[in-house]
């Protein structure tokens, strides 16, 4: 789908724009949610405040998803419809995040309902279950993007699982990072882990799709 002569440039452009979208989307969404929560919400009626605390996360999530998707759309718009990619990626990201959060909350809510300390085996099983919920939620993003890609690429069915593969790789790398964080000074440990987590996530979510897009064949080509 991406001409061979343009793949290197596309790879770096898509990777850069995705990382920028991740960083800018995160900063803007957090800033907007914080501003509304601290400045506007206290002036609202109790009933309206309750609605915000129930549904306000959708606002920040929507802002992040749209910025993240828009940056990718800018990079890919020469090869597929930028607007369709923006809508598919933005909507897919929102659904994926909420599905993942719901399942993870349910899993750990079940753990809390036991009203006892978990055994090592139980903690490992629940940890694997919550990680699996995160990994498989990527199918929602892949499916939404596949709806766009099937108009332009040959047999892109495997794309449905591409984001889940990226989430699997992210989970593995974050597990490795957690193993070495004890060697980091306690003063900086949380900051280093957070920056490492965000950096690895942004890098994987940009590099893996960029490589995958370069592997797709244009519809109608031999």
pLDDT value of residue 21: 96
Distances (CA, A) of 101 to 94, 131, 168: 11, 11, 16
Q: Is the separation of the CB atoms in 71 and 24 below 8 Å?
A: yes
pLDDT value of residue 59: 86
Which residue stretches of the chain have pLDDT < 70? 53, 221-222
pLDDT value of residue 134: 94
pLDDT value of residue 173: 94
Q: Is the separation of the CB atoms in 129 and 159 below 8 Å?
A: no
pLDDT value of residue 170: 96
pLDDT value of residue 191: 87
pLDDT value of residue 81: 95
**54-77 b/e (C-beta count within 10 Å ≥ 16 → b):** eebeeebbbbbbbbbbbbbbbbbe
pLDDT value of residue 185: 79
Structure pTM?
0.90
């Amino acid at each position: 789908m991406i001409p061979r002569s343009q793949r290197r440039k596309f790879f770096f452009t898509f990777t850069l724009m995705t990382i920028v979208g991740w960083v800018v989307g995160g900063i803007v969404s957090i800033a907007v949610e914080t501003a509304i929560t601290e400045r506007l919400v206290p002036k609202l009626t109790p009933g309206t405040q309750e609605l915000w605390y129930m549904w306000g996360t959708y606002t920040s999530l929507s802002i992040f998803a749209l910025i993240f998707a828009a940056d990718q759309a800018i990079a890919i718009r020469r090869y597929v419809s930028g607007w369709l990619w923006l809508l598919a990626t933005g909507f897919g990201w929102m659904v994926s995040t909420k599905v993942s959060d719901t399942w993870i909350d349910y899993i750990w809510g079940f753990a809390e309902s036991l009203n006892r300390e978990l055994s090592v085996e139980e903690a490992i099983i629940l940890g694997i279950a919550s990680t699996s919920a995160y990994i498989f939620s990527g199918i929602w993003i892949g499916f939404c993007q596949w709806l766009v890609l099937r108009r332009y690429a040959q047999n892109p069915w495997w794309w449905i699982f591409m984001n889940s593969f990226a989430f699997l790789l992210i989970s593995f790398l974050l597990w490795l990072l957690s193993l070495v964080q004890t060697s980091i000074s306690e003063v900086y440990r949380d900051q280093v882990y957070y920056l490492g987590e965000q950096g690895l996530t942004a890098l994987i979510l940009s590099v893996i799709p960029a490589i995958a897009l370069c592997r797709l064949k244009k519809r109608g080509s031999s």
